[in-house]
């Protein structure tokens, strides 16, 4: 595959998820991503995940998930000579991505205003919980904090269980995707004569994805509320009990609702004044759900899934992660990458790639997640450091 970012060098100073996820996307699009880590410990994600032995090896599952295709070097950014090494590396880079608290890089003497002296066209992407300014800018922020403060938790769950956390780090992931988009868009400006400073706020990035919910408040004056598995705009649109398993049905159009009524053998529901029109169905959602589930109980979800889709009604079973990964729709499209006998892991590993294809091919990377500092000597040698220089830097604990 010819990859759009094949001539781009990215310095990844990030930890845990939002930043590594950003650079994970860039690596799959061909960028050379050099992960700059703290000597001895590296990315905190190296110690996170469900396999305790891998955590001890600093190759935790959380790290493996987001760092294939990257190189790892260790530099002590608090050491004077370490700073020199990093600034020399910046001269060869197109992008720097970091997710420290605002002000940390400036205090290290490695902020954007300093680094652009070394590389005037540098794209510098700073990912943080709340952005680089504002009253909360310097507060620490993890995914769950942002989920709570963005309003996501307030509308997740049903009225009895909300507020509820989304079951994966959605705000971290959205922050990383937003950063990757901002970086790629900046790189597209081939005529730029100066760099870009990209300020990515996880809070604002999360809010941006909540457009429908937020706009109901901003424009219509309707405060968002938790609705469980129900769709706020349509009924029947949500999760329904069947004879075996749960089924999602999204009959958002009038003709789709009428088709549901035909499929389940209740055409009378389509002319019932409680359900005949969209607003009436919303007002009588509970009664409609009860009527539908009474009929859906006669067959398992997988059978209704086929029948409804054949009738033009979007529907699908509620699956768990192992079943989803095993389904040929995912299994056979190149979504999962595999690395044989990954270094530092001692066994084969499988990880998710990106969610798109380029010219009918799923983007991939050639190398497994790196061991801590695996490429330090190689990268520094390419910058012109001799073996003696590198040995001295290591002796001084600058790398």
> Cα separation of 144 and 141, whole Å?
8
Burial class (CB in 10 A: 0-12, 13-18, 19+), 101: middle
Dihedral sign of CA atoms 92, 97, 103, 108 in order: negative
Dihedral angle of Cα 24, 29, 33, 38, to the nearest 10 degrees: -10
Read off the DSSP letter of residue 159.
T
Q: How many CB atoms lie within 10 A of CB 59?
A: 28
Q: Which member of 94, 106, 172, 244 is catalytic?
A: 172
- From the centroid of its chain, how far is CA 239? 25
Bridge partners (DSSP) listed for residue 244: 300
CA 52-54-56 angle, 5° bins: 75
Contact residues for 30 (Cβ-Cβ < 8 A; gap 6+): 3, 4, 5, 6, 8, 363
Q: Judge contact between 394 and 81, C-beta under 8 A.
A: no
Q: How many CB atoms lie within 10 A of CB 293?
A: 15
Note if 341 is an active site residue: no
Bridge partners (DSSP) listed for residue 247: 240, 317
CA 253-254-260 angle, 5° bins: 90
Phi, psi of 169 (to 5 degrees): -75, 75
In three-state secondary structure terms, 316 is: strand
- Give the pairing of strands 336-339 and 95-98: unpaired
Q: Which residues are catalytic?
A: 172
């Amino acid at each position: 595959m010819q990859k759009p970012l094949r001539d781009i060098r990215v310095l990844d100073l990030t930890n845990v998820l939002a930043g590594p996820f950003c650079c994970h996307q860039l690596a799959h699009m061909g960028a050379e991503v050099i992960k700059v880590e703290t000597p001895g410990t590296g990315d905190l994600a190296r110690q996170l995940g469900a396999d305790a032995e891998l955590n001890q090896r600093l190759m935790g599952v959380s790290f493996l998930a987001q760092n294939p295709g990257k190189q790892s070097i260790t530099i002590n950014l608090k050491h004077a000579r370490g700073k020199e090494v990093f600034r020399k590396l910046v001269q060869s880079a197109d992008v720097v991505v970091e997710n420290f608290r605002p002000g940390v890089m400036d205090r290290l003497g490695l902020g954007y205003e300093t680094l652009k002296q070394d590389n005037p066209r540098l794209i510098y992407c700073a990912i943080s919980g709340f952005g680089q300014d504002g009253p909360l800018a310097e507060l620490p922020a993890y995914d769950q904090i942002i989920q709570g403060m963005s309003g996501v938790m307030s509308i997740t769950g049903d009225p009895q269980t909300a507020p509820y956390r989304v079951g994966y780090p959605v705000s971290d992931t959205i922050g990383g995707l937003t950063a990757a988009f901002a970086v790629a868009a900046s790189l597209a400006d081939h005529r730029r004569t100066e760099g870009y400073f990209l300020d990515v706020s996880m809070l604002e990035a999360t809010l941006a994805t909540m457009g429908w919910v937020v706009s109901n408040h901003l424009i219509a004056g309707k405060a968002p509320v938790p609705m469980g598995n129900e769709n706020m705009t349509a009924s029947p649109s949500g999760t329904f009990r069947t004879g075996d398993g749960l089924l999602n049905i999204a009959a958002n159009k009038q003709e789709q609702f009428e088709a549901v009524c035909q499929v389940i053998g209740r055409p009378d529901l389509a002319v019932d004044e409680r359900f005949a029109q969209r607003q009436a169905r919303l007002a009588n959602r509970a009664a409609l759900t009860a009527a539908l589930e009474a009929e859906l109980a006669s067959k398992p979800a997988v059978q209704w899934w086929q029948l409804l889709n054949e009738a033009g009604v979007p529907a699908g079973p509620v699956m768990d992660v192992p079943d989803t990964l095993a389904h040929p729709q995912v299994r056979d499209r190149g979504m999962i990458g595999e690395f044989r006998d990954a270094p530092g892991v001692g066994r084969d590993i499988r990880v998710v790639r990106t969610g798109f294809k380029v010219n009918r091919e799923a983007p991939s990377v050639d190398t497994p997640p790196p061991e801590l500092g695996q490429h330090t000597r190689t990268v520094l040698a390419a910058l012109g450091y001799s073996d003696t220089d590198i040995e001295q830097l290591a002796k001084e604990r600058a790398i």
